[in-house]
Structure 1
């Protein structure tokens, strides 16, 4: 993805959908940090509608849906209202120093295993929940992000990190501890932090396994078609990495998948272990 005049564009040159939010300051910023959030809303559409409502007095630069859809609300060089009261590494008021990305996700759930629900009562299947034991022994449930959503979020983040020379990718919970929980335990923060640290994934060797069922595509990005005969690759598929492009890895699949051999394609580096 690319950034032109502080707006986000797909690699094919088409601009990402833009819905300007009135909830922003006229101040021009030079962003140093990228802050990740979850919306805690019922859908990307409802969250976007709220963030462009003047009554909200809140906004973010980007919202990413569970289906990988992207909507930009504020130019990247303008001060959005996403961080609130915040502090990080000697800096107060992160709105003036950061770009904010919101991911459609209800966040911390209510209930327990077999009976997880959102804050507004919508049931959530156990296979979409990351259970985490607190220091007091209580089990918390976090709604997981979708594979496509995280793929797109990483692409967007990498474009922002490179264009603005971002120093660090951080969570809302980092800059407002005790007040905010997002993006939560289900978000792979270390992978996103590595984008700013000059590393695009956690791997160090050339031979890997897929850590989940993983789509394999014809090019390094979600805009490229999947290999429908073999995608997704099953969890535990053995493969070797032969090329890198940002957060994407071109791989040679070692295993035979659906009677297919010599499979070469692109996968998201986050899901290799």
Structure 2
């Protein structure tokens, strides 16, 4: 796939299906790709909602269960997918990102022995459900059900993501639950974010992202300033770390080598003070 005139096209030049949403803002220069689940029961239903003048929501792309892609907003225009959101110093990620909605029911509850969407009341077989704790849930939380993504959807995300990253030189792929962690839970635990991120950023799946500190930086025993600083911190300027996982602006890191007399230092730091390095 490739980008022509801010629209997604096949390599042979054939256009992707386009159904325009009326909900689009001004010109943007996208820096991130943000992944969502629709929470609905079908791609067609979500597309219809994004075209409804009353909805006041939209996305650049909608990806159906079979991997079919529909574009609804040109990539250089603001789509209304992120809402109140923040990533590092940026707020209002609609103005800084391309939004992809995947046809997926998302969070499911057990009712009458079946996994059911609390929004649509549609039930799903066990084979289509992942049982897991969301990364933003408090420690000790009970696992929930999550509608599984299809292989075709993940391949479609990768195919269009590669084109978008190359054309717009995007910096990262994020979940809605990264940029609005207290408010949103999509794309949820079944979406293979770290694997997708590795592919889109050009890393092998088993190769961790490596960063260096841009200031003296505390490593804490949890993702937030209220958690205790670990022994051996603050890290000196220029310390190298490997990123293990991300929870909003807080990243769990493994400090490379010995620092301040401490080995095997693993904890959480604010990503504002980390810059990616090539290894």
CA 1:203–1:139: 2 relative to 1, 3 Å: closer
Conserved in 1, the CA contact under 8 Å of 2:161 and 2:200?
no
Distance 1:187 1:58 in 2: 22
Structure 1 counterpart of 2:150: 146
Structure 2 counterpart of 1:270: none
Structure 2 counterpart of 1:100: 99
What do you get for the CA RMSD once the two structures are aligned?
1.6
Matches within 5 A, 1:105-124: 105-111=104-110, 114-119=113-118, 120-124=120-124
Distance 1:92 1:139 in 2: 31
TM-fit CA distance, 1:139:
2.3
Length-normalised TM-score, structure 2: 0.69
Distance 1:40 1:122 in 2: 11
Distance 1:198 1:18 in 2: 29
CA 1:131–1:13: 2 relative to 1, 3 Å: same
SS in 2 for 1:111: strand
Length-normalised TM-score, structure 1: 0.71
Conserved in 2, the CA contact under 8 Å of 1:110 and 1:118?
yes
SS in 2 for 1:102: strand
Structure 2 counterpart of 1:198: 202
Structure 2 counterpart of 1:181: 185
Matched, 1:38 2:37: yes
Structure 2 counterpart of 1:89: 88
Tell me the alpha carbon deviations over residues 221-269 of structure 1, each in whole angstroms, 9 at most, x when there is no partner. xxxxxxxxxxxxxxxxxxxxxxxxxxxxxxxxxxxxxxxxxxxxxxxxx
TM-fit CA distance, 1:129:
0.7
TM-fit CA distance, 1:196:
4.2
Distance 2:31 2:199 in 1: 14
Tell me the alpha carbon deviations over residues 71-90 of structure 1, each in whole angstroms, 9 at most, x when there is no partner. 00000000010000000011
CA 1:92–1:162: 2 relative to 1, 3 Å: same
TM-fit CA distance, 1:123:
1.6
Matched, 1:65 2:69: no
SS in 2 for 1:116: strand
For structure 1, the residue ranges without an aligned partner over 5 or more in a row are 205-273
For structure 2, the residue ranges without an aligned partner over 5 or more in a row are 208-279
SS in 1 for 2:177: helix
Structure 1 counterpart of 2:7: 7
Distance 2:184 2:94 in 1: 15
After the TM superposition, which of the residue ranges 109-118 and 4-13 deviates more from structure 2? Answer: 109-118
Conserved in 1, the CA contact under 8 Å of 2:37 and 2:106?
yes
Structure 2 counterpart of 1:167: 171
TM-fit CA distance, 1:167:
0.3
Structure 2 counterpart of 1:52: 51
